[in-house]
Amino acid sequence: MFKLCVSMLVLFTLVSCKNANKKSEDSTKLKSEKAILMDLELGKTVYRANCAACHQRNGMGIPRVHPPIVNTKNSEGDKNYLIETVLNGARGEIKVEGEKYNNVMTNFKKLSDNEIAQVLNYIRNGFDNSAEVITAEEVKALR
């Protein structure tokens, strides 16, 4: 009986491994390259510690005070604009999703290149959304 149990267990493990392999084969090359460069766990930690107070945990911000930064045209658009906003902060009037904002965001120079890259990857890919990956090298180039 014990032998049978063990062999069933081995068989089950083998079958699940095979399925897991098949799944990863199915995902496109691009997706796996993206997964290697992104660290959404780090991005989430950095986001919750530095950004969520204003932009809220869900990234939707506060109307007319702090703009939304998840699922917006800007946040999933030009990478340099996003990197520079985090590196230098932001002030003055901007329009986000048809709403005007004229407030101040402090800069986040204190964060490392990788922390900035990952927090931006998190807002662009951590909410069932998807945009091109931002790398620490790209942040370094603009610092």
Rounded to a whole number of angstroms, the minimum distance from the CB of residue 27 to ligand HEC is 27
Answer for the pair 87, 139: CB distance below 8 angstroms, yes or no.
Answer: yes
Q: Which stretch binds ligand HEC (CB under 6 A): 3-11, 23-31, 36-44, 47-55?
A: 47-55
Does 62 participate in binding ligand HEC (rule CB under 6 A)? no
Rounded to a whole number of angstroms, the minimum distance from the CB of residue 48 to ligand HEC is 10
Does 143 participate in binding ligand HEC (rule CB under 6 A)? no
End-to-end CA distance of the chain: 65
Per-position b or e across 34-43, b if 16+ CB within 10 A of its CB: beeebbeebb
Q: What is residue 116's three-state secondary structure?
A: helix
Does 129 participate in binding ligand HEC (rule CB under 6 A)? no
Rounded to a whole number of angstroms, the minimum distance from the CB of residue 90 to ligand HEC is 4
Rounded to a whole number of angstroms, the minimum distance from the CB of residue 97 to ligand HEC is 8
> Would you state the structure tokens that stand for residue 64, as one six-digit string?
């007319």
Determine which helix (DSSP H) or strand (DSSP E) holds 22, and give its type and residue range. Answer: helix 2-26
Distance between CA atoms of residues 56 and 58, nearest Å: 5
Residues that bind ligand HEC (CB under 6 A): 50-51, 53-55, 66-67, 69, 72, 74-75, 82, 85-86, 90-92, 94, 96, 101-106, 108, 119
